[in-house]
Amino acid sequence: MSTTISSGPPCPAESVWDAVAAGLLKGDEAVTAMEHASNCAVCAQTLREAIEIFAVEEPVTTNVVSIGVRPRLAPAVRWLGIAAALLVAVGVGYLATTQFRSPEPLTLLSSAYTEHRTLDLRLPGASYGVMQLERGGEARKPTHAVEAELAFRSTLERMPNDPGALHAKGRWAILYGTPDDAIVALTASRDATTGKPDAGLLTELAIAWREKGRRSGQAADSLHAIEFLGQALQLDPTNAAALFNRAVVEDELNLWSPAILDLEKLLTVEPSGAWSEETRKRLVEIRRKV
Amino acid sequence: MAAPSLSELYGDCVRSAGHHPSCDEFFRIFRPALTRVARRVAYQYNSPHQAEDAEQEVNLKLLASGETILKRLPAEPVDALAYFSVVAANAARDFFRALGAAKKGSAVTVSIDTQLSALSASLGVSPDVDKSLIIDRINELLPADRREQIAFRFYYYQGYTAKEIAAIPDFGLSVKRGGKYDLPDYQGSPGAFSQ
C-alpha cells in the first residue's frame, strides 16, 4: 500500500525523477521534487523505479583523468605471463575436475556448516548442526569448506558471472569471510540469474546483511535482512530457513510479536526434527520477554 | 599531459560522427554504467533478453543526438556521467515503449501495512486501529527538518525501504544506530517519537 496525502502541484516529468535518482538535480530543487514524491503515490513509484535504475551497487569509474593507457609489456614477457596464467588455470581446472568433481560447492558448504556450525542463523538446505562458539577469522575451516573454495574459484576463473559459483562464493564468505564480500557475491549471483531469484539465495543475502548489521551496529542493515527474508517468503511462504532467520532478526530488533508468529508458523511447517527443537527453545525464550 | 575528460572524449567522438579513436575510449569508460542502466530498464519492462538491443539503441542515440547532448552536458565529470546515464535510461525506455513492452509491477519492498503494524505498538494504539489515525499521529510527531519529514513520508506513507531512501544521491541521509532513522528503536520503545 502507498498513500497519496494531498494533490499539491502537478506531477513533474519522468526525467525529473531520473535526475533526482542519478544525482543531477541538487539542493532545493531536489528537495522540492522529493517533497512532492513523498506525498504522491504515482511520483513515489516513478522515483522508486528511477532509483532502481540508477542505484550504484558496483562502483563506476568517473575519474576519467586518472585513466590512461597501460604501458605495454614487452611481447615476450606478456606471452610468458599468459602462458603461466594458462598453466595455472589448467592446473586448477584439472584439480577441480578430478579431485573436486562432486559434490557441488554449495553442498560442500552446507556440510561444512552442519559439521562445524558457528552461525546461529539457518543456512538454507543445510542439516542441523550443534551451535559452537568459535567465530570469525579464528574459525577452523573444515575440509569441505576448503574444497568448496577451490571449486568455486576455479569456476569463477573460467566464468566470472556464473550464478552458482557466485552463490557459493557468497555462502563461503558468510561462513568464513566478511559480510561485505558475501553481499557483493550474492547480489552478483542474484543479478546474473535469469528469472525470479531463488528464495534460498535471498535468505542467504539476508544472513549477510544481518551479519553486517551485527558488526556495524547499524539497524538499517538488519532492516535490509528483514526485507530480503520477506522477499524470500513471498516466493516460498513455507521456507523454513527464512522463517527461522526472520524470527531471530525480529527478536534482535525487539519485534517480538512478529518473531513469535514466524516461529509458530515454522513449527507447523516443521513440527519435528532437530531444527524444531531449537525453534521451540527460541519460542519459549521470546515468549518470556513479551 | 592530463587524459581527456569523459565530456571531451564524447565531444571528439560526436564531431567525428563516431570515427574518432575517442569513441572507443568513451564507450569503454561508459559501458559499465550503460550496460547496467539498459539491463535494469529491460528488467522493468519484463524484457531482460532484450537488454543488449536496448544498449545498442542507446549507443545510436548517443551518437545521433550528440550535438543536443553536448549543449546540455554538465561540466563536472561526475555530473556528466550522471547525465549520460539519464540519457541512456530515456533512450532505453523509448526503445521498450516503441516495442509496446509493458512495465512490470512495482518492486518488492516492505509494505506500509507492515510498517504501520509494527509502529502501532510504539504509538500506543491498537494494531487494528484505522491507518489514517496512525498517519495523523505520525504527522504530529514529524521532525522540523524538511528532509527528515520527506524521509519519514517516504518510509511510512510510500513504503520505501531504508535502502531506497539512502540511495537517493542528494538526500545526504545516513542511517546509523541511535540516529534519527534508527527505526527499530522507535518500534521497540514506546514514546520514542516524542523524545
Residue A20 forms contact with B (CB below 8 Å): yes
How confident is the model over B144-153, as pLDDT tens digits?
677 777 887 7
How confident is the model over A62-92, as pLDDT tens digits?
333 222 233 333 444 444 444 455 445 444 4
| Contact call for B108 and A231, based on CB within 8 A | yes
Q: Determine the average pLDDT of the residues in A227-253.
A: 93
Of B112, B168, B183, which has the smallest distance from its Cβ to A3's Cβ? B112
> What is the spatial distance between Cα B89 and Cα B42, in angstroms, rounded to a whole number?
10
Output A93 or B152, whichever has higher pLDDT: B152
| Contact call for B170 and A41, based on CB within 8 A | no
Statement: residue A251 has pLDDT above 80: yes
Mean pLDDT of chain A: 79
CA-wise closest residue to B59 among B80, B40, B31: B31
| Contact call for A258 and B118, based on CB within 8 A | yes
C-alpha cell at B159: 513504503
CA-wise closest residue to A35 among B162, B164, B145, B25: B145
CA-wise closest residue to A19 among A58, A42, A53: A53
Q: Which of residues 67-106 of A touch B (CB under 8 A)?
A: 67-68
**Apex A179 CA angle, A55 and A191, nearest 5:** 40
How confident is the model over B175-188, as pLDDT tens digits?
333 333 333 332 32
> What is the spatial distance between Cα A188 and Cα A119, in angstroms, rounded to a whole number?
23
Residue A30 forms contact with B (CB below 8 Å): yes
How confident is the model over A278-289, as pLDDT tens digits?
999 999 999 998
Amino acid at A141: K
| pLDDT for res A281 | 93
Mean pLDDT lowest among A4-13, A187-196, A235-244, A249-258? A4-13
Of A45, A53, A194, which has the smallest distance from its Cβ to B37's Cβ? A53
Q: Report the DSSP beta bridge partners of residue A131.
A: A117
Cβ pair B84, A54 in contact under 8 A = no
| Separation in Å, CA A134 to CA A101, A107, A139, A141, B60 | 30, 22, 6, 11, 56
C-alpha cell at B7: 565530456
Q: For residue A117, which phi and psi values (nearest 5 degrees)?
A: -80, 120
Cβ pair B169, A22 in contact under 8 A = yes
Q: For residue B175, which phi and psi values (nearest 5 degrees)?
A: -110, 110
Half-sphere exposure of residue A140: CA atoms within 13 angstroms, side-chain side:
8
Residue A261 forms contact with B (CB below 8 Å): no
Convert B81-103 to b/e letters by CB count within 10 Å (16 or more is b): bbbbbbbbbbbbbebbeeeebee
Of B114, B160, B170, which has the smallest distance from its Cβ to A20's Cβ? B170
| Contact call for A220 and B167, based on CB within 8 A | no
Contact residues, chain B, for A25 at CB < 8 Å? 170
| Contact call for B160 and A44, based on CB within 8 A | yes
> What is the spatial distance between Cα B154 and Cα B53, in angstroms, rounded to a whole number?
34
Mean pLDDT of chain B: 72
| Contact call for A25 and B170, based on CB within 8 A | yes
CA-wise closest residue to A213 among A197, A227, A198: A227
Contact residues, chain A, for B91 at CB < 8 Å? none
Q: What is the DSSP string of chain A?
A: --------SPPPPHHHHHHHHHT-S-HHHHHHHHHHHHH-HHHHHHHHHHHHHH--SS-----GGG--PPPPPPHHHHHHHHHHHHHHHHHHHHHHHHTT-SS-HHHHHHHHHHHTB--SSPPTTPPP--B-S--GGGPPPPHHHHHHHHHHHHHHHH-TT-HHHHHHHHHHHHHHS-HHHHHHHHHHHHHHS-SSPPHHHHHHHHHHHHHHHHHH--HHHHHHHHHHHHHHHHH-TT-HHHHHHHHHHHHHTT-HHHHHHHHHHHHHHS-SSHHHHHHHHHHHHHHHH-
Contact residues, chain A, for B182 at CB < 8 Å? 219
Q: Determine the average pLDDT of the residues in A193-200.
A: 84
| Contact call for A58 and B32, based on CB within 8 A | yes
Residue A144 forms contact with B (CB below 8 Å): no
- ipTM over 0.85? The verdict is no
Residue A28 forms contact with B (CB below 8 Å): no
How confident is the model over B55-89, as pLDDT tens digits?
998 988 888 888 888 888 888 888 888 899 999 99
Single pTM value for the model? 0.45
Per the omega criterion (within 30 degrees of 0), is the bond before A103 cis?
Answer: yes
| Contact call for A54 and B89, based on CB within 8 A | yes
| pLDDT for res A275 | 93
Q: Which of residues 209-228 of A touch B (CB under 8 A)?
A: 217-220, 222-224, 226-227
| Contact call for A19 and B86, based on CB within 8 A | yes
